[in-house]
Amino acid sequence: MMELREVLSKLKIENGLTTDQLSQKSGVPKGTLNKLLNGETRNPTGGTLKKIADALNCPVELLYPRDGRISDSLRNAGDVLPIHRRAVPVLGEIAAGVPIYADEDTELILCDDSLKCDFALRVRGDSMIGARIHDGDLVFIRCQDDVDDGEIAAVVLNDEATLKRVYHIKNGLQLLSENPRYAPMIFTLDECDSIRILGKAVGFQSQL
């Protein structure tokens, strides 16, 4: 298995780049690259990996280790690493409780490529603990403007985002938490004009 530093060294050589040239091309400081290349830094940010991947003309997933190391298939010239995971953007935070603004961020997170999602949101609050979604967890969202009754969705209320189960009721919409401490949120048809469903929650990743 290959470590990240080995993969970077191999790709740098294959692209005919010195560390100085890679730094200039990627915008990543030479000191940061040196730490990656000598193994001092093993968990760079998603933004750093994305810049390096773009400069090396390779998928960013190629630089993400699996279980801390990279597949041996990269050792052989011409081999292609099978991609089983992909990176999706983490777009700020979403409340599981009181709605909060989903501020856009540049963080990237890996998910299984079989998970049909477009982005992830980090949860703040405890209103979805009944669905095993806790404060600090990542929820993966597939973009769609409506969901079936009982499904968990990322919902924007007046530019503030929250995570709730959605139910279509007569003349309105009901948003339910998975914590009895939180009362249902009920909206009339007129009030629904200020509500927008970002997408359906299709998976989550818990903190250790």
**Active site (catalytic) residues:** 127, 164
DSSP structural state of residue 183: -
Residues 16 and 93: their CA atoms lie apart, in Å, by 40
Cβ contact 140:198 at 8 Å: no
Cβ contact 105:91 at 8 Å: yes
Cβ contact 202:116 at 8 Å: yes
φ, ψ of residue 193 to 5 degrees: the values are -65, -25
Cα-to-chain-centroid distance, residue 105: 10
Strands 85-95 and 119-124: parallel
Residues 55 and 179: their CA atoms lie apart, in Å, by 46
Beta bridge partners of 17: none
Cβ contact 164:93 at 8 Å: no
